[in-house]
Amino acid sequence: MDRIRLEDVRKTFTLKAGQTVSLGGVPTNRIPVLSGVDLTIRKGEFVTLAGPSGSGKSVLLDIIGGLTEASSGTAYVGATPVTRPDPSTAYVFQQYALFPWRTAQQNIEFALEVRGVPKAERRERARRYLALFGLRGFEDRYPAQLSGGMQQRVAIARALSTDPEVLLMDEPFAALDAQTRDILQGELLRIWDEIKTTIVFVTHSIDEAVYLADRVVVMTARPGTVKEIIEIDLPRPRDLEIRNTAAFARLRGRVWEVLRDEVTKAQRDWQIAAH
Ligand SMILES: Nc1ncnc2c1ncn2[C@@H]1O[C@H](COP(=O)(O)OP(=O)(O)OP(=O)(O)O)[C@@H](O)[C@H]1O
């Protein structure tokens, strides 16, 4: 069954009057960011989006999440065209986006409260999801009293505690050190294996894209569209050792081969824009 369907999704931003950027050496106030994205994501699938900087990956997530409106084309979650944020879609951003004045437990409970979950269930669910991410005993800590990795665990636990049909993750591990990032990737896979929610995950890391995904969607340079979709046929459950296998190296090489030209194009785009 399909969970997300994008049909010819396009997005052009128009800058405020008087503001211009240089595109291809020509000044303009219109920035085409997405040009005709077609993509279908199955229920329970883990898809990673890779693409050069500025290829519209975050904008595409925002369109799926109802935070940004497409200029044309349609994004569907289930059978419904997305027109606004929906409580059944959860987001995790690079920055942990926790309320600093609430404890870990209260951060999760608040997300459940706005969804109308009764108080006793809120408490139980928040504890359960914190425990799932190894945070038993940290329920009463405030974000400032937690490490970056722990804060991001709370943010993911919060998102998953709402039992979302779709989880959108925008470079959620990019701000973490390499070891914490490895650990969190493993934890996310372990939990996703249990709950099998549909995940769309944006990353700049090819290793991360391959390690996590059922399919890696490679975007072209701006204006972004789907350049190629690479099936990741590595067995699950996966552990970090899989990155040392020949099969992993082959897939990593394949993604880079598709991505390389687009990264070069994107760099040229900036160089022109800078002049
Ligand atoms: N509100 C906006 N107004 C104008 N331009 C915007 C707006 N939001 C995004 N853009 C432009 O859209 C383009 C795509 O941005 P987006 O953040 O989706 O790229 P990305 O692929 O996620 O890049 P990165 O990998 O660097 O995060 C960029 O050129 C950005 O400057």
Percent of the chain topping pLDDT 70: 97
Percent of the chain topping pLDDT 90: 81
Residue nearest to atom 3 of ligand 1 (CA): 13
Closest CA to 94 of 181, 162, 179, 164: 181
Task: State residue 29's pLDDT score.
Answer: 87
Q: How far apart are CA 68 and CA 160, in angstroms?
A: 22
Residue 192 pLDDT level (bands cut at 50, 70, 90): very high
pLDDT at 112 over 70: yes
How crowded is the C-beta side of 244, counted as CA atoms within 13 Å? 3
Among the ranges given (4-8, 19-23, 80-84, 142-146), the one the predictor scored with the smallest mean pLDDT: 19-23
Q: Which residue has the higher pLDDT, 16 or 146?
A: 146
| Centroid of ligand 1 to alpha carbon of 25 (angstroms) | 19
For residues 78-88, give the mean pLDDT: 94
Task: State residue 246's pLDDT score.
Answer: 98
Residue 183 pLDDT level (bands cut at 50, 70, 90): very high
pLDDT per position as a tens digit, 164-179: 999 999 999 998 899 9
Residue 272 pLDDT level (bands cut at 50, 70, 90): low
Among the atoms of ligand 1, which is closest to the Cα of residue 59? Answer: 18
Closest CA to 35 of 4, 73, 83, 5: 73
> Cβ(65)–Cβ(168) under 8 Å?
yes
The answer to whether the CB of 13 is under 6 A from ligand 1 is yes
| Centroid of ligand 1 to alpha carbon of 100 (angstroms) | 27
Q: How far apart are CA 178 and CA 91, in angstroms?
A: 22
Residue nearest to atom 6 of ligand 1 (CA): 13
The answer to whether the CB of 31 is under 6 A from ligand 1 is yes
The CA distances from residue 63 to 7, 75, 192, 261, in Å, are 12, 7, 23, 26
The answer to whether the CB of 59 is under 6 A from ligand 1 is yes
Residue 23 pLDDT level (bands cut at 50, 70, 90): confident
Residue 150 pLDDT level (bands cut at 50, 70, 90): very high
Q: Which residues lie closer than 8 Å to 194 by C-beta, 6 or more apart?
A: none
The CA distances from residue 141 to 54, 78, 146, 178, 183, in Å, are 36, 37, 7, 24, 21
pLDDT per position as a tens digit, 220-266: 999 999 999 999 999 999 999 999 999 999 999 999 999 999 999 88
Structural domains in the chain? 1-88+165-257 (3.40.50.300), 98-163 (no CATH)
pLDDT at 273 over 80: no
pLDDT at 274 over 70: no
Residue nearest to atom 16 of ligand 1 (CA): 56
Task: State residue 67's pLDDT score.
Answer: 95
| Centroid of ligand 1 to alpha carbon of 93 (angstroms) | 15
Residue 152 pLDDT level (bands cut at 50, 70, 90): very high
| Centroid of ligand 1 to alpha carbon of 55 (angstroms) | 7
The answer to whether the CB of 56 is under 6 A from ligand 1 is yes
Q: Peptide bond preceding 223: is omega within 30 degrees of 0, i.e. cis? A: yes
